Structure 1
Amino acid sequence: MTDKPSSNPSVKPRNGVAKTEAESSGNAGGSGGGGGFLNWLGRLLRGGGDTDLRESIEEVIDEHEALTPVLNPEQREMLMNIISFGELEVNDVMVPRTDIVALEAGSSPSDVVSTFRQAHHSRLPVYRETLDDIAGFVHIKDVVDHWGRDDELSLARILRELLVVPPSMPILDLLARMRATRIHMAVVVDEYGGTDGLVTIEDIVEEIVGEIEDEHDTHEGPSLLQRPDGSIEADGRAEIEDLEKILGLDLAPDEMDEDIDTLGGLVFAMLGRVPQIGELIGHPGGLEFEIVDADLRRVKRLLIRQTDKGDGAGDDGARRSDGSDGDASDENG
Structure 2
Amino acid sequence: MTRLPASVRIVEVGPRDGLQNEKAVVPLAAKVGLIDLLSATGLKTIEAGAFVSPKWVPQMADSAEVMARIARVSGVTYPVLVPNDTGLDAALAAGATEVAVFGAASESFSRRNINCSIAESLARFAPVVARALAAGLTVRGYVSCVLGCPYEGEVPAEKVAEVSAALFGLGCYEVSLGDTIGIGTPSKAVAMIDAVSARIPRDSLAVHFHDTYGMAVANIHAALDRGIAVVDSAVAGLGGCPYAKGATGNVATEDVLYLLDGLGIASGVAMDRLLDATRFISGVLDRPPASKVARALIARGGDSDA
TM-score by length of structure 1 reads 0.22
Choose between structure 1 and 2: higher strand proportion.
1
Which structure would you say has the larger RCO, counting Cα contacts within 8 Å and 6 or more residues apart?
A: 2
* Greater gyration radius: 1
TM-score by length of structure 2 reads 0.24
